[in-house]
Chains A and B, each alone.
Chain A
Amino acid sequence: TQLLEQSPQFLSIQEGENLTVYCNSSSVFSSLQWYRQEPGEGPVLLVTVVTGGEVKKLKRLTFQFGDARKDSSLHITAAQPGDTGLYLCAGVKDSSYKLIFGSGTRLLVRP
């Protein structure tokens, strides 16, 4: 059983569309991170959210941390083929060193 559940698992959309992926848990996290992984490469950190209700923007990507710090979402506006990849959320519990990774959302943006 995954501590962090991501949905959807797969998403195929047309260039220009908007999308939202979700990261949910029954546990509280002190912070949550989002990574993007491209084929043949390791995950790359996109953002860290720390405060419940926090919203961060990275160009066309908007990240939100739930008020209760149990969930997070990633919204992409006007998706581009370069956004294609595996999106992973990862949570930190309390002062733990461990990053707990979600199962991932595999995104394909078709030109």
Chain B
Amino acid sequence: EPEVTQTPSHQVTQMGQEVILRCVPISNHLYFYWYRQILGQKVEFLVSFYNNEISEKSEIFDDQFSVERPDGSNFTLKIRSTKLEDSAMYFCASSVSGIPYEQYFGPGTRLTVT
């Protein structure tokens, strides 16, 4: 069964460093998403991406964040200058289309900022 994959599974970085989290969505999916989950808290939407542009973003997704689909398979989230409060599990998701289709999530990347 096709699945969303994410690399790395765990990333440790120092405050102020840039990180890039990578995702490979399910191959025939057209919509891509990033969510985050701070330890013990709810899952929060960051951004959605369709047709090579951001279609929606939350207030969390400020200028420190960017997304890109550099080729036909990868979807990346870049955090330009990490802060301690960026420590979280970051989930990539994809869906075959927009509403109403369900989003399938990857296994997550745990980001630890020290």
Q: Do A and B come from one complex?
A: no
Interface residues of chain B, those whose CB is within 8 Å of chain A, are none
| A residues neighboring B (CB under 8 Å) | none
